[in-house]
Amino acid sequence: MYTVLLTFLLWFTSLSRVKLSISEGSFHPTDLLAVFKQTTSSTRSHIRAAVLLYNTIEIIREMVYTHTMAELNHTELLSSEDMETLLDATGCSTEMKRPVCKSDCLSERYRTITGHCNNRQTPLLGAANTPYARWLPPEYEDLHGAPRGWDPQHSYHNFILPPVRAVSQEVLYTQNENISLDVSLSHLLVEWWQWIDYDLTLTPQSPSTTSFKMGADCTHTCSRDTPCFPIWIPLSDPRAGLQSCMPFFRSAPSCVGQSAMWYHREQLNIVVYGSMVYGSSEELSLNLRNCSSHLGLLSHNQPHSDQGLAYLPYLQETISQSMTRKTLTSMGNLTFCFHAGRPQGVANEHLGMIALHTLFLREHNRLAEELHRVNPHWGPDTLYQEARKILGAVHQVLTWDHYLPHVLGNKEYSKLIPPYDGYDPKVDPSITNVFSAAAFRFAHVTVHPVVSRLGPGHQLHPDNPPMPLHHSLFAPWRVVEEGGIDPVLRGVLLSPAKLQAPEQMMVEELTERLFQAQEGLPLDLGALNLQRGRDHGLPGYGAWRELCGLPIPANKSEFAGILGNVGLVRKLLALYGTAQNIDVWVEAISEPALPGGRVGPLLACLLAKQFRALIDGDRCAEEQITKTQSLSVSRIICDNTRIRLVPLDAFIRTLHAEQLLPCTHPNVTHLNLSAWKEPDTDIDECSNQLSACPVNLQCSNTPGSFICSGMHAYIRSFHTG
């Protein structure tokens, strides 16, 4: 019935695609955010198909019907045959096609880079470039996926949702000086959270910077028209005289499976566990390898080293036409960004991420070299795969056994995450939407506003003075020119995390100075988090309490009993009207922490539920975990830096340098690789099936490789603006 119409609409929507275009001299904070959400070719193919699908359905709806969708049964719009035709024509059928899983020994021994075929029965579960899972159905404002709050006058439980910037200003905003410090935990806990967050979730935003219907530039309009979903600035806001709204782009939609009869908007996760070091696509993983090495090493930086130790390779750039070589030369080596497993140079976001990326690049190469000494008959691909397998297990041990008990509290951890009992193919390890867009953003309220770097004596050093957080953003040159990663690691080991408290939520470095530059006003991370949750259709606070078996507050008194703070309850109810409406992220971080932990009951439930699914649904977890349980972050620092004194538990705050242990201390345990020893006669058929590493791909073809050339003037302005 709709075949001719579909053909026309697909052609029409293809004309409406607008590529991200950034020219020198017109950079704004949203430009940088957009660039760092750009993707590899495989992801762009998926997004293109999904955008075509979504836009075509929207046009069909508007052209065929004049009355509101609320009056329609959604199955009246497209038959199952129409939907199949549409999925095929847009390319979504291809993108969501069930992969064929190999049954050879290589496939049994090593996980795929993309995460496909981890689950043999359902090979897309937990893979990169698949939709986030849902524990609760989305609550969009209408049937076709408008975000919560899309219509400012739409009511929920008889109340209108407040502007997210108002929530940020009235509930979250905390002056940098008005914070309490965590007396127990180090800032490494915060850095490790972001390291794991970036390893598990990455949601691409819309590939276009202009609205689909009207063609308006989303960075300069306050009109709501997908993908533009601007953040309104209330009249009482200090920014009210400077801007009417803050630009915000909706997350790109994802494709749906071939059996879908109706398309409701879902979002895409484009990474898979282990991606920080190795990438989530074959293209990127090969790009990161040193294919000239017979040891299975990852590529490292050639122009520079950190006292003889490796830096990350530079993201080889294509010099944009708007930038002259003379301009680049005048900037010296500051024009480069580091290249790692996260797409588009996100490793450069701040100094802590650069340090951890560098640390684990070195650890992979150290493991590969040690494995070569243990098994000199192993070839480079076996060494690469075995080192990758060990490092994956190390990350699981450090996260599940070392990090999570500090977050949940030992008692809650024991209750919610029982001892690992082996792989369960019935468990879906996919990251859930609420985890990505809300729950695992909890640690934003523990970020310290000052970045401390310490000298060899673990004291402040005149060459590396403390700096405000926004001066450490996208500043890879600070590592190369200001002492390497050792001062950064000493700083996070000995500096405390910020303590979350009802009147001390999110520091102004994040709400008022995020991506501060000479052009464009800074972004607000708290408002971005809230808007993202609404964009993804996350239900309100009460629905998640119910999911976790927790009581839902029926009145102000019960609400105050849950939060333990009458003043905070008054603020939230004045904004939202009812606890049912409160955005899950802001309410979850408002709950008082459980004993010994740093999150309340709702976050403990959601985090434990996700991390338990990740480990129970991982087919490759079991074999290596028992062999790597003795390893610690401190040992990895000892093995890969010039730091010789470390804490026993790197997540616990060390008050005085005298409490640190030498790397030679028996409690700073080595990983004994003799367990991986194989006799020369044990070269099996599986090893022979490992294909030789192909010629390394050229980074110059990497999308967005202009980041540190075309955008360098903007990035540098963080530190002068």
Query: What residues contact 352, with CB distance under 8 A and at least 6 apart?
Result: 187, 190, 191, 194, 451, 488, 492
What is the SS3 assignment for 611? helix
Pair 19, 229: CB distance under 8 Å:
no
Task: Report how far apart, in Å, the C-alpha atoms of 216 and of each of 16, 53, 213 are.
Answer: 12, 21, 8
On the 0-12 / 13-18 / 19+ scale of CB atoms within 10 A, 73 is exposed
Pair 254, 50: CB distance under 8 Å:
yes
Torsions phi, psi of 562, nearest 5? -75, -45
Q: Which architecture does CATH list for 3-540+583-719? A: Orthogonal Bundle (1.10)
Q: Check pLDDT > 50 for residue 706.
A: no
What is the SS3 assignment for 182? strand
Mean pLDDT of 389-395: 93
Give the pLDDT confidence score for residue 3 in this predicted structure: 56
Q: What is the DSSP letter of 249?
A: B
Determine the Cα–Cα distance for residues 653 and 499; give it in Å rounded to an integer.
12
Where do the H-state alpha helices sit in 161-319?
A: 164-167, 188-200, 275-278, 282-288
Determine the Cα–Cα distance for residues 491 and 485; give it in Å rounded to an integer.
10
What is the residue whose two structure tokens read 């003075």? 465
- The total number of residues shown for the chain amounts to 721
Residue positions forming the annotated binding site for heme b: 444
Which tens digits make up the pLDDT trace of 433-442? 999 999 999 9
Domain ranges of the chain: 3-540+583-719
What is the residue whose two structure tokens read 């905003």? 173
Determine the Cα–Cα distance for residues 122 and 96; give it in Å rounded to an integer.
12
Determine the Cα–Cα distance for residues 702 and 699; give it in Å rounded to an integer.
5
Which tens digits make up the pLDDT trace of 624-636? 677 777 889 999 9
On the 0-12 / 13-18 / 19+ scale of CB atoms within 10 A, 555 is exposed
Give the pLDDT confidence score for residue 630 in this predicted structure: 80
Residue positions forming the annotated binding site: 444
Tell me the pLDDT band of 262, cut-offs 50, 70 and 90: low
Give the pLDDT confidence score for residue 328 in this predicted structure: 33
Q: Check pLDDT > 70 for residue 317.
A: no
Structure-model confidence comparison of residues 695 and 248, the more confident one = 248
Beta bridge partners of 261: none
Q: Check pLDDT > 90 for residue 269.
A: yes
Mean pLDDT of 487-508: 95
Q: Check pLDDT > 60 for residue 134.
A: yes
**DSSP assignment of 403-446:** IHHHHH-HHHHHHHSPPP----TTS--PPBHHHHHTGGGGGGGG
Give the pLDDT confidence score for residue 346 in this predicted structure: 77
On the 0-12 / 13-18 / 19+ scale of CB atoms within 10 A, 205 is buried
Beta strand pairing call for 268-269 and 245-246: unpaired
Mean pLDDT of 221-246: 91
Which tens digits make up the pLDDT trace of 560-583? 999 999 999 999 999 999 999 999
Give the pLDDT confidence score for residue 692 in this predicted structure: 53
Give the pLDDT confidence score for residue 58 in this predicted structure: 79
Which tens digits make up the pLDDT trace of 399-437? 999 999 999 999 999 999 998 888 999 999 999 999 999
Return the minimum-mean-pLDDT range out of 67-71, 134-138, 353-357, 564-568. 67-71
Mean pLDDT of 542-555: 96
Determine the Cα–Cα distance for residues 486 and 359; give it in Å rounded to an integer.
10
Tell me the pLDDT band of 187, cut-offs 50, 70 and 90: very high
Closest to 229 (Cα-Cα) out of 449, 533, 569: 533
Return the minimum-mean-pLDDT range out of 177-181, 345-349, 385-389. 345-349
Which tens digits make up the pLDDT trace of 87-129? 888 899 999 899 999 888 778 889 999 999 999 999 999 999 9
Determine the Cα–Cα distance for residues 526 and 508; give it in Å rounded to an integer.
10
